[in-house]
Amino acid sequence: MKTTFNSTSLFSPARLPLTRLLACSAISSFILLPPSASAQDSDYVIARTVDGAPDLQGMWTSNTITPFSRPEEFGDKLVLSREEAMQLEQAVADYTTEQDQPSDPDRIPPVKDRIELADSYNNFWFDDGTQVARYNGEFRSSLLIDPPNGRMPAYTQLAQERLRVAAELRASRGAFAGPESRPLAERCLMSFGSSSGPPMLPILYNNHYQIVQSPGYVMILVEMVHDARIIRIDADPLPDAFRPWMGDSVAHWEGDTLVVETSRLNPSQKFRNATENFRITERFTRVSDNVMNYSFTAEDPDTFVQSFSAEMPMNLTDDILYEYACHEGNYSLPGVLAGARLDEAEQSD
């Protein structure tokens, strides 16, 4: 089953509306922020690997209630007050308690053309966070920091024309011509919502990343779809004909920060309708034993009128990374194809 992430909401689809969050008032005075959310310690000394590189290894999670794009209610306000952040977190806690109640066995069945997320998932499955993202001590209203309004840049005229042509093509032949044109996540090839990256963005669940280092390499194992991203240190780019999943990532160290430059993404992996000219620079900086700052700047002059940048914390966790056996449990694709063949047979009668 494929779920679409709505980045304009403070939550994933069908979750708590932003208006309800902003309307919450009474906040319990005993709510405390976790130590992992603290600002960067200027005296922090990062551990080193056997080859002397800054040690970024561990199991990290990026889940947060802060959305990628900023809700319009906040305007250009990137930094929230402590009280505002606590208010949002309390609203999440209240909503979760409400949604954790047993499902009503007498509820109305879902409608074919309008299936709500609540009809597909119980609240138990969500792991999209309970806290506002805190970056260098600041509570953030969005992960996007540039453009200043926290919203994705507009599409270029060239991109708008591409989208128009693609829409006309879909309308003429149907949404999907065959199984190969079904979404990557539905086919268990890549995660939905750019979880694997780049950029690596939090989604509904499975927001864990295991980082392992060896001389000359950094490997990021992604919980969603069990993608393994291999980053080469101080290496030459791959030949232009090579277009791997998650792109060609080459990194170097700037002090204690790992700077990763990625290009040559697979043509089927498009971030927000970007082209093969999509380029992204990511930065990983461990700022304490339990927190790593992750930021990126991306551009594609053929798609977006300007570059865009984001910042988010990644927190160390003791959770275990389980195998995401997508194919073994993927019954939706055979069902979709079987339904299509049935439709074709009925139309030919």
For 138, the domain range is: 18-104+115-327
Query: Number of helices and strands (H, E) in the chain?
Result: 4, 13
Please state, for a pLDDT cut of 90, what percent of the chain lies above it: 58
* Predicted pLDDT of residue 78: 98
Question: How many residues appear in the chain?
Answer: 349
Instruction: Answer for the pair 193, 5: CB distance below 8 angstroms, yes or no.
Output: yes
Mean pLDDT over 30-51 rounds to 67
Residue with more model confidence, 195 or 31: 195
* Predicted pLDDT of residue 41: 65
Whether 59 is covered by a domain: the verdict is yes
Specify the number of domains making up the chain. Answer: 1
Whether 344 is covered by a domain: the verdict is no
Whether 8 is covered by a domain: the verdict is no
Please state, for a pLDDT cut of 70, what percent of the chain lies above it: 85
- Is the pLDDT at 18 greater than 60? The verdict is no
Whether 281 is covered by a domain: the verdict is yes
At residue 4 the predicted structure's pLDDT band, cuts being 50, 70 and 90, is: very low
Whether 347 is covered by a domain: the verdict is no
Whether 335 is covered by a domain: the verdict is no
Instruction: Answer for the pair 243, 264: CB distance below 8 angstroms, yes or no.
Output: yes
| pLDDT tens-digit map of 82-110 | 999 999 999 999 988 988 888 788 887 77
The CA-to-CA distance between both ends of the chain, in Å, stands at 30
Q: Could you tell me the pTM of the whole model?
A: 0.84
Residue with more model confidence, 346 or 145: 145
Mean pLDDT over 11-22 rounds to 40
How far apart are the C-alpha atoms of 160 and 326, rounded to whole Å?
34
Mean pLDDT over 291-315 rounds to 98
At residue 219 the predicted structure's pLDDT band, cuts being 50, 70 and 90, is: very high
Q: Please enumerate in sequence order all residues whose Cβ is within 8 A of that of 14, keeping only pairs 6 or more positions apart, or say none.
A: 116, 117, 118
Whether 110 is covered by a domain: the verdict is no
- Is the pLDDT at 324 greater than 90? The verdict is no
* Predicted pLDDT of residue 104: 82
Radius of gyration of the chain (CA): 21
- Is the pLDDT at 24 greater than 60? The verdict is no
Whether 167 is covered by a domain: the verdict is yes
Instruction: Answer for the pair 294, 270: CB distance below 8 angstroms, yes or no.
Output: no
Q: Please report, for residues 138, 199, 216, 235, 277, the alpha-carbon distance to residue 243 in angstroms, rounded to integers and kept in the order given.
A: 37, 16, 21, 16, 12
Residue 114: strand, helix, or coil = strand
DSSP state of 331: -
At residue 75 the predicted structure's pLDDT band, cuts being 50, 70 and 90, is: very high
Q: Which H, E and C letters describe 124-169, residue by residue?
A: HHCCCCCCCCEECCEEECCCEEECCCCCCCCECHHHHHHHHHHHHH
